[in-house]
Amino acid sequence: MSTRNETLAGMEAPALGPTGRPMRDFPEPKPLRSHGPARIVTMCNQKGGVGKTTTSINLGAAVAEYGRRVLAIDFDPQGALSAGLGVDNHDATTIYDLLLNPRLDPKDAIQHTSVEGLDVIPANIDLSAAEVHLVNEVAREQILARVLRRVADDYDLILIDCQPSLGLLTVNALTAAHGVLIPLESEFFALRGVALLKETIDKVQDRLNPALQLDGILVTMYDARTLHAREVMDRVVGAFGDIVLETVIRRTVKFPDASVAGQPVTQFAPEHAAAEAHRQLARELIARGAIA
């Protein structure tokens, strides 16, 4: 008995991460024997500035590093994902063209990036007119799904970077997806909108896409030095439990620097903690089964 107590006393308790749970180092995933069909994941939050595009760029790059084939869909008229990956979104076929013209081949819109295994279908300001043009279409909520079906077999993951709204484009993205990832800034007003977003996801599940799953809530722009950020984290974990991912993305200037360079942070600063955080995110989502 005393030996057991001595052993227990000598054991160190596992370190707790920002979410208040023991920190796990998720294993590096095994190589895939073949590619496709893709699991489609929508990056969604109706609040702007929470890290959707940054997460889409860097998660896509990190997953590609592990030998997966990734297609990122820029579904925001601002075209930030296209710019952040250094691809042309002006004199090119965009996702807007594919939505409006079913005769176009989606493969003709795909552009390669500087990251091996990571491709993009770009967007630009034209996409802002899509909702007006699609509103009278039959099965208008399923148009993006029809586009992605034609390229899904060529990829392991399709990431849709949504605009900050809950309009028809976002409903299209949710209808096309297998899973939803919600980036959530560690700030009180960002937290308030999650209930509305969850309600929209539930409606899409009920009426349009019963297979849709909530893959996780990712806390972004976290700064452990502020009491406010720690309080928001406590409330998020208290409200959503294990749906909150263990990986947390901390605030750093490396993200805007990488965006200006047109590269993911995994390529711009591969040894930086921000790059490793997204590799950890990729490993966690693969371990959870959200990515192959």
* pLDDT confidence of residue 254: 92
In a domain, 102, yes or no: yes
* pLDDT confidence of residue 137: 87
CATH code, domain carrying 266: 3.40.50.300
In a domain, 26, yes or no: no
Contact 64, 36 (CB under 8 A): no
Total count of residues recorded for the chain: 292
Mean pLDDT of the chain: 92
* pLDDT confidence of residue 187: 85
The pLDDT tens digits of the residues spanning 75-131 come to: 999 999 999 999 999 999 999 999 999 999 999 999 999 999 999 999 999 999 999
pLDDT at 1 over 50: no
Residue 40, domain extent: 32-288
Contact 173, 160 (CB under 8 A): yes
The pLDDT tens digits of the residues spanning 7-57 come to: 445 556 667 888 888 878 889 999 999 999 999 999 999 888 899 999 999
In a domain, 234, yes or no: yes
In a domain, 2, yes or no: no
pLDDT at 233 over 60: yes
* pLDDT confidence of residue 8: 45
The pLDDT tens digits of the residues spanning 156-175 come to: 999 999 999 889 999 999 99
In a domain, 64, yes or no: yes
* pLDDT confidence of residue 7: 41
The pLDDT tens digits of the residues spanning 187-229 come to: 888 878 888 898 999 999 999 999 999 999 999 999 988 998 9
- Residue 214's SS3 state is strand
Question: Tokens in use for 248?
Answer: 């947390």
* pLDDT confidence of residue 288: 94
Our count of domains for the chain comes to 1
127: amino acid identity, one letter: L
In a domain, 105, yes or no: yes
Question: Tokens in use for 263?
Answer: 């590269």
In a domain, 22, yes or no: no
In a domain, 253, yes or no: yes
Q: Where does the chain have alpha helices with state H?
A: 2-10, 52-65, 80-84, 95-100, 130-134, 143-149, 168-176, 188-192, 194-207, 227-240, 254-261, 265-268, 273-288
* pLDDT confidence of residue 5: 52
